């Protein structure tokens, strides 16, 4: 008998533990509401999710879709036009969606096409009141005149009989888990079991009773507050409830096999109690408001519950953060470890203190107004507030008032202990006190640059006691008082709100950020995609070593691996994960007191507190979304308009700027979806936008392009395949290959014509110069003939007359005879020159003329001359060659005559860039002034400069006394044409 009692007692304990555990672990839900102001549809009586994850809503005002970020009203589906915008039903099919219309007809849309069915295809007449897709992917449609089944191969509908009415008004139809087809027609319930061909009547229903499939079975209100569960093979069973379920209410299934209902109180999560009855577990406001009445529901592929109402759309998602149930009137929470493994929650200056248990919070008697906590060890917890100090031990609670001069208008800011075990209390506006056995001793410490009251205090595992003050001042409590260890943290931390020893350093958090102090150096924790972790008033590490931070933007988690890398690399930006209002966190986190706003329980759970909520998260069991989002490229916008994204689409000629819109159907927390995109050949690296769902490009040219986009859900699960869009920008006429070829041919032809014109012009100028030169030569020849020759011949005749009268053989006669012979030679040479001037003589080459000039020198000088010619000297024009010859000849003669050089080098080089020449000797040199101005009455140097200047070149003379002289010149090629 005693054994049985122990067994029974053990079973009771196990049941209590199980129910307590389930109460703690049972999921709660967070609601998000979209209304018309957000673009959401109203009164959607059809909701479906296609295989891409897109939500579709059917309303009498049109068909809407939702990709997690935007509601869009559609005139087309997958590019195919809707016959009508007056819709009442939508369901997902294997390859797309099907919709039913208010005035009859069904359309089936896929990306490959659309098919519209009417009475001509065998579809029953009247409004489509129900659509369902069977286990065999066959489409069923219920209208106001009957139910039909689609034969997709023939494109025909077959009316199904056995509904016991000539005009069956089909209000609802659905398949259960066993494959039975359930139909409500004219307030009667029918069933067609799997494998049969006829319906059987199951039950008569109250008018407007709304059936549903819950847990794989049909459940419906059958009257007198009774819910009844039906199956095709079993006897109907009652499903008791304590929520007063009635005809106007609606039961439906939610995520994780939960049961929900629309009740008079509002949308309500139900749980089955130990008595087998349905009980309300979590109720959301909206009861009694017709606009919040549930119309249709859907559980999406990420396990979110979607509800359409008369006012809009609602989403219910399992919270990742678990809320501690506390009195609705409690505010301003502080959470911290209590005795043993318990957690304590204090509620503001006038609230109570609660010990957190499996079923919620148990209020501790005699404790109010607690604003600070300090757990000394598992058997000792200190609490403080304006009502005094409280000491909790397993033996009970002891209390003491604050110092008499403080009064009840000031709160306890913080409590801690030093390594000697002395208790220290920070009191607002009064400073730091030591407390022992009811005795208060104020520490008179002068803290520079501000208030001496610590805002935050920490008794670290290192044995050191840290004090954080305003304006970034950090101190350490020592035997001699407070030693200020840092005063320069105002810019990076601001007011110090929390402290945490981490590794061999100290983390300091405040309203401007968090820094890590190590070996006297302060290094800010810089997160990815943010300038800093702002307003951090609570910090802690879990059992994995991950760092948790609590601030106004939510609860941040930084992985231990990231912290290790940060300690090794000062420039490393920390990746992070945030839990915020999307996860169920509500209320403003404390920025002055009560502090800290985060605490880690002995079992590893992380507790947080705000002004209106206390919650926790188990780092070892965070609810994750393993499904990568489906990525869609939706549309492409250009100057010419907005176009549906179609693979291989061609954009109009002249398109240079585009805007590509994309989406990812991650519906749990779409605000945290991350994207990467690139335009192949344009982007060198993947682009990572922030909150943008569009990519913009400018200055694009014609050609083929590929746009790629990837996405990750809120838990960083990436769809690595992503989506692509291949498109082509057509060229304008002037961008086509044939046009460019034509332009190139025209340019080449024009250049050739210009070249021919240039050659012809040069030839004309050469002919004109030749004619002018010929005319000048003829004039000179005439002048020589008429003046010089005639005069010399007259003079010779006169001299001959004199010679004839002179005695023969005298020296005078011989001299005159020799002079006359010389005069005859001059006359002959002059006559030859006249003859040369009257005809175009064949001009020797420049090289030959220079060689001839060298040969004409005195043999002693000739041996000292070197001639160096290179390049295309022989291709120079006659006029240019003449000018260059005279310059080189003049310089050569000057060197040979005046320098006394042992070596003279005459060089000339002609190339495509121009002509360069020089005469260099190693003689006595020439005076600088003489080289610049020349000798009075001598025009050799002047003539050389004039000739080179006439060719558009430059001439310079370089000389030093006793070290030779170099005459050099250069003429650009452009001046040689």
503-523 per-position pLDDT tens digit: 899 999 999 999 999 988 999
Poorest-confidence range of 137-141, 213-217, 752-756? Answer: 752-756
Q: What is the pLDDT of residue 837?
A: 58
Q: What is the pLDDT of residue 349?
A: 59
- Nearest-5° Cα angle at 897, 891 to 900: 105
Higher local confidence (pLDDT), 801 or 953: 953
Reported as a pLDDT band with limits 50, 70 and 90, residue 23 is very low
Judge contact between 497 and 537, C-beta under 8 A: yes
Judge contact between 659 and 651, C-beta under 8 A: no
Residues 151 and 950: their CA atoms lie apart, in Å, by 100
Do 471 and 534 lie in one domain? The reply is: yes
State CA 476 to chain mean position distance: 44
Q: Is residue 396 part of a domain?
A: yes
Do 270 and 244 lie in one domain? The reply is: yes
Q: What is the pLDDT of residue 15?
A: 32
Averaged pLDDT for residues 408-414:
91
Q: What is the pLDDT of residue 19?
A: 33
Do 691 and 772 lie in one domain? The reply is: no
Residue 10 has pLDDT above 70, yes or no: no
Do 778 and 873 lie in one domain? The reply is: no
Domain harbouring 126, CATH code? 2.130.10.10
Longest dimension (CA), the chain: 190
47-95 per-position pLDDT tens digit: 999 999 999 999 999 999 999 999 999 999 998 999 999 999 999 999 9
Please list, in sequence order, all residues whose beta carbon lies within 8 angstroms of the beta carbon of residue 142, skipping any fewer than 6 positions away. 124, 128, 129, 130, 131, 132, 170, 171, 172, 173, 183, 185
Q: Is the dihedral of CA 476, 477, 478, 482 positive or negative?
A: positive
Higher local confidence (pLDDT), 320 or 882: 320
Q: Is residue 20 part of a domain?
A: no
Residue ranges of alpha helices (H) inside 336-466 are none
Residue 924 has pLDDT above 90, yes or no: no
Give the three-class secondary structure for 837. helix
Residue 815 has pLDDT above 60, yes or no: yes
Averaged pLDDT for residues 326-352:
89
Q: What is the pLDDT of residue 146?
A: 92
Do 855 and 817 lie in one domain? The reply is: no
SS (H, E, C) 572-608: CCECCEEECHHHCCCCCCCCCCCCCCEEECCCCCEEE
Do 658 and 749 lie in one domain? The reply is: no
- Nearest-5° Cα angle at 944, 942 to 945: 65
SS (H, E, C) 632-697: EEEEEEECCEEEECCCCEEECCCCCCEEEEEEECCCCCHHHCEEEEEECCCCCCCECCCCCCEEEE
Residues 514 and 535: their CA atoms lie apart, in Å, by 9
Residue 484 has pLDDT above 60, yes or no: yes
Which of 621, 656, 677 represents a domain boundary (last residue)?
621
Tell me the Cα Rg of the chain: 53
State CA 801 to chain mean position distance: 115
Q: Is residue 686 part of a domain?
A: yes
Q: Is residue 893 part of a domain?
A: yes
Nearest of 718, 70, 31 to residue 306 by alpha carbon: 31
Q: Is the dihedral of CA 752, 754, 758, 760 positive or negative?
A: positive
* 869, β-bridge pairs: 908
Residue 9 has pLDDT above 50, yes or no: no
952-976 per-position pLDDT tens digit: 899 988 888 778 999 999 999 877 7
Nearest of 946, 965, 943 to residue 954 by alpha carbon: 946
CA distances from 564 to 197, 216, 958 (A): 67, 49, 73
Which helix (H) or strand (E) covers residue 777, if one does? helix 737-783
Burial of 182 (0-12, 13-18, 19+ CB in 10 A): buried
Q: Is the dihedral of CA 847, 850, 856, 861 positive or negative?
A: negative
Residue ranges of alpha helices (H) inside 136-246 are none
- Of all residues in the chain, the percent with pLDDT exceeding 90 is 63
Residue 11 has pLDDT above 70, yes or no: no
Averaged pLDDT for residues 822-836:
69
User: How many CB atoms sit inside 10 A of residue 443's CB?
Assistant: 14
Count of all residues that appear for the chain in the document:
977
Judge contact between 493 and 472, C-beta under 8 A: yes
- Model pTM greater than 0.85? no
635-653 per-position pLDDT tens digit: 999 999 999 999 999 999 9
Burial of 434 (0-12, 13-18, 19+ CB in 10 A): middle
Averaged pLDDT for residues 339-347:
94
Q: What is the pLDDT of residue 809?
A: 77
146-205 per-position pLDDT tens digit: 999 999 889 999 999 877 665 688 989 999 999 999 999 988 999 999 988 889 899 999
Do 227 and 158 lie in one domain? The reply is: no
Reported as a pLDDT band with limits 50, 70 and 90, residue 762 is confident
875-896 per-position pLDDT tens digit: 887 778 888 888 888 888 888 8
Residues 729 and 723: their CA atoms lie apart, in Å, by 20
State CA 565 to chain mean position distance: 24
Give the three-class secondary structure for 214. strand
What are the φ and ψ backbone dihedral angles of 898, each rounded to 5 degrees? -110, -20
- Of all residues in the chain, the percent with pLDDT exceeding 70 is 93
CA distances from 845 to 70, 530, 866, 877 (A): 88, 81, 18, 10
Which of 809, 837, 865 represents a domain boundary (last residue)?
837
Q: Is residue 324 part of a domain?
A: no
Q: What is the DSSP string of 271-312?
A: EE-TTS-EEEEEE-S-TT-GGG-EEEEEE-TTS-EEEEESSE
Do 569 and 678 lie in one domain? The reply is: no
Instruction: Count how many domains the chain has.
Output: 6
What are the φ and ψ backbone dihedral angles of 828, each rounded to 5 degrees? -65, -45
Do 265 and 180 lie in one domain? The reply is: no
What are the φ and ψ backbone dihedral angles of 316, each rounded to 5 degrees? -115, 120
Q: What is the pLDDT of residue 362?
A: 87
| Tokens representing residue 940 in the block | 């050799």
Q: What is the pLDDT of residue 16?
A: 32
Q: What is the pLDDT of residue 224?
A: 86
Reported as a pLDDT band with limits 50, 70 and 90, residue 96 is very high
Residue 977 has pLDDT above 90, yes or no: no
Averaged pLDDT for residues 130-143:
94
What are the φ and ψ backbone dihedral angles of 849, each rounded to 5 degrees? -65, -40
Q: Is residue 18 part of a domain?
A: no
Reported as a pLDDT band with limits 50, 70 and 90, residue 740 is confident
Ranked by mean pLDDT, the top range of 228-237, 318-327, 790-799 is: 318-327
For residues 775, 778, 779, 785, the Cα torsion angle rounded to the nearest 10 degrees is 180
Do 573 and 652 lie in one domain? The reply is: no
Do 431 and 540 lie in one domain? The reply is: yes
Place of tokens 């007809």: 105
Give the three-class secondary structure for 974. helix
Q: Is residue 162 part of a domain?
A: yes
Q: What is the pLDDT of residue 796?
A: 74
Which of 155, 177, 204 represents a domain boundary (last residue)?
204
For residues 852, 858, 861, 866, the Cα torsion angle rounded to the nearest 10 degrees is 10
Pairing of the two strands 200-204 and 212-214: unpaired
Range of the domain at 264: 27-38+208-319
Judge contact between 717 and 682, C-beta under 8 A: no
Do 590 and 678 lie in one domain? The reply is: no
Q: Is residue 22 part of a domain?
A: no
Residue 774's Cβ-side half-sphere holds a number of Cα atoms within 13 Å equal to: 10
- Nearest-5° Cα angle at 492, 488 to 494: 80
Poorest-confidence range of 69-83, 211-225, 346-360, 414-428? Answer: 346-360
Q: What is the pLDDT of residue 1?
A: 36
Q: What is the DSSP string of 456-490?
A: EEEE-TTS-EEEE-STT-EEEEETTEEEEEE---T
Average pLDDT, the chain: 88
SS (H, E, C) 738-771: HHHHHHHHHHHHHHHHHHHHHHHHHHHHHHHHHH
């Amino acid at each position: 008998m005693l054994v049985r009692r122990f067994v029974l007692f053990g079973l009771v304990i196990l049941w209590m533990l199980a129910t307590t555990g389930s109460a703690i672990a049972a999921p709660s839900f967070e609601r998000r509401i979209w209304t018309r102001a957000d673009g959401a549809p109203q009164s959607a009586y059809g909701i479906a999710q296609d295989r891409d994850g897109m939500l579709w809503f059917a309303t009498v005002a049109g068909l809407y879709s939702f990709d997690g970020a935007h509601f869009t009203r559609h005139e087309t589906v997958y590019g195919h036009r809707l016959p009508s915008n007056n819709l009442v039903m939508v369901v997902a099919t294997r390859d797309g969606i099907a919709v039913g219309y208010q005035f009859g007809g069904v359309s089936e849309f896929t990306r490959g096409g659309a098919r519209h069915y009417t009475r001509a295809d065998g579809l029953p007449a009247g409004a489509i009141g129900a659509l369902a897709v069977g286990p065999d992917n066959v489409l069923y449609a219920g209208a106001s005149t009957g139910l039909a089944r689609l034969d997709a191969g023939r494109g025909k509908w077959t009316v199904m009989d056995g509904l016991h009415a000539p005009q069956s008004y089909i209000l609802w139809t659905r398949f259960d888990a066993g494959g039975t087809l359930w139909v409500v027609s004219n307030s009667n319930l029918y069933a067609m079991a799997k494998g049969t061909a006829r319906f059987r009547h199951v039950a008569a229903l109250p008018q407007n009773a709304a059936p549903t499939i819950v847990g794989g079975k049909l459940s419906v209100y059958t009257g007198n507050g009774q819910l009844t569960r039906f199956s095709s093979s079993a006897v109907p069973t009652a499903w008791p409830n304590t929520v007063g379920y009635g005809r106007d209410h609606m039961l439906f299934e939610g995520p994780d096999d939960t049961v929900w209902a629309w009740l008079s109180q509002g949308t309500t999560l139900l749980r089955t109690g130990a008595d087998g009855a349905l009980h309300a577990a979590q109720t959301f406001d909206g009861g009694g408001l017709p606009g919040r009445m549930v119309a249709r529901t859907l559980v999406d592929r990420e396990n979110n519950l979607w509800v359409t109402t008369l006012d809009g759309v609602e989403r219910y998602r399992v919270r990742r953060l678990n809320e501690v149930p506390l009195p609705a009137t409690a505010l301003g929470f502080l959470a911290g470890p209590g005795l043993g493994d318990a957690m304590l929650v204090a509620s503001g200056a006038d609230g109570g203190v609660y010990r957190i248990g499996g079923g919620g919070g148990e209020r501790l008697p005699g404790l109010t107004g607690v604003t600070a906590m300090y757990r000394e060890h598992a058997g000792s917890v200190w609490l403080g507030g304006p009502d005094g100090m409280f000491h909790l031990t397993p033996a009970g609670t002891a209390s003491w008032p604050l110092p008499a001069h403080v009064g009840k208008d000031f709160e306890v800011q913080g409590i801690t202990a030093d390594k000697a075990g002395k208790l220290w209390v920070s009191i607002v506006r009064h400073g730091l006190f030591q407390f022992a056995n009811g005795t208060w001793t104020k520490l008179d410490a002068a803290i520079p640059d501000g208030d001496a009251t610590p805002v935050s205090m920490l008794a670290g595992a290192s044995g050191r006691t840290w004090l954080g003050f305003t304006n970034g001042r950090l101190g350490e409590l020592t035997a001699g008082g407070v030693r200020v260890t840092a005063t320069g943290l105002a810019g990076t931390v601001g007011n110090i709100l929390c402290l945490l020893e981490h590794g061999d350093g100290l983390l300091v958090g405040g309203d401007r950020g968090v820094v890590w102090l190590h070996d006297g150096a302060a290094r800010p924790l810089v997160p990815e995609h943010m300038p800093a972790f702002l307003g951090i008033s609570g910090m802690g590490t879990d059992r994995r070593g991950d760092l948790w931070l609590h601030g106004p933007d939510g609860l941040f988690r930084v992985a231990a691996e990231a912290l290790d890398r940060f300690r090794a690399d000062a420039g490393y930006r920390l990746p992070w994960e945030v839990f915020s209002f999307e996860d169920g966190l509500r209320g403003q986190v404390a920025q002055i007191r009560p502090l800290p706003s985060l605490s880690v329980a002995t079992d590893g759970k992380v507790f947080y507190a705000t002004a209106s909520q206390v919650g926790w998260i188990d780092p070892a069991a965070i609810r994750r979304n393993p499904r990568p989002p489906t990525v869609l490229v939706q549309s492409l916008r250009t100057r010419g308009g907005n176009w549906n994204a179609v693979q291989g689409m061609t954009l109009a000629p002249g398109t240079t700027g585009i805007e590509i819109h994309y989406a990812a159907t991650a519906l749990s927390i779409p605000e945290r979806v991350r994207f990467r995109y690139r335009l192949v050949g344009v982007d060198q690296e993947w682009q990572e936008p922030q909150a943008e769902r569009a990519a913009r490009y400018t200055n694009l040219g014609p050609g083929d392009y590929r746009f790629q986009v990837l996405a990750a859900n809120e838990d960083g699960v990436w769809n690595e395949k992503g989506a692509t869009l291949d498109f082509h920008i057509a060229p304008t006429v002037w961008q086509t290959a044939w046009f460019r070829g034509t332009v190139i041919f025209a340019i080449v032809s024009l250049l050739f014509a210009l070249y021919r014109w240039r050659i012809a012009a040069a030839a004309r100028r050469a002919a004109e110069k030749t004619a002018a030169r010929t005319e000048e030569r003829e004039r000179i020849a005439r002048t020589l003939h008429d003046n010089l020759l005639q005069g010399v011949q007259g003079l010779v005749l006169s001299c001959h007359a004199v010679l004839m009268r002179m005695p023969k053989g005298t020296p005078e006669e011989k001299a005159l005879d020799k002079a006359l012979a010389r005069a005859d030679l001059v006359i002959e040479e002059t006559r030859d020159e006249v003859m040369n001037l009257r005809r175009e003589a064949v001009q020797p080459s420049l090289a030959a003329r220079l060689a001839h000039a060298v040969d004409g020198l005195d043999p002693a000088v000739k041996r000292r001359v070197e001639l160096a010619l290179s390049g295309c000297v022989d291709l120079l024009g006659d006029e240019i060659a003449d000018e260059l010859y005279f310059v080189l000849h003049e310089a050569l003669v000057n060197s040979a005559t005046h320098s006394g050089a042992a070596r003279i080098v005459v060089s000339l080089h002609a190339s495509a860039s121009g002509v360069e020449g020089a005469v260099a000797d190693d003689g006595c040199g020439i005076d600088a002034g003489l080289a610049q101005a020349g000798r009075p009455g001598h025009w050799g140097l002047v003539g050389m400069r004039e000739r080179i200047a006439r060719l558009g070149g430059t001439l310079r003379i370089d000389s030093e006394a006793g070290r030779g002289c170099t005459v050099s010149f250069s003429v650009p090629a452009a001046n040689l044409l």
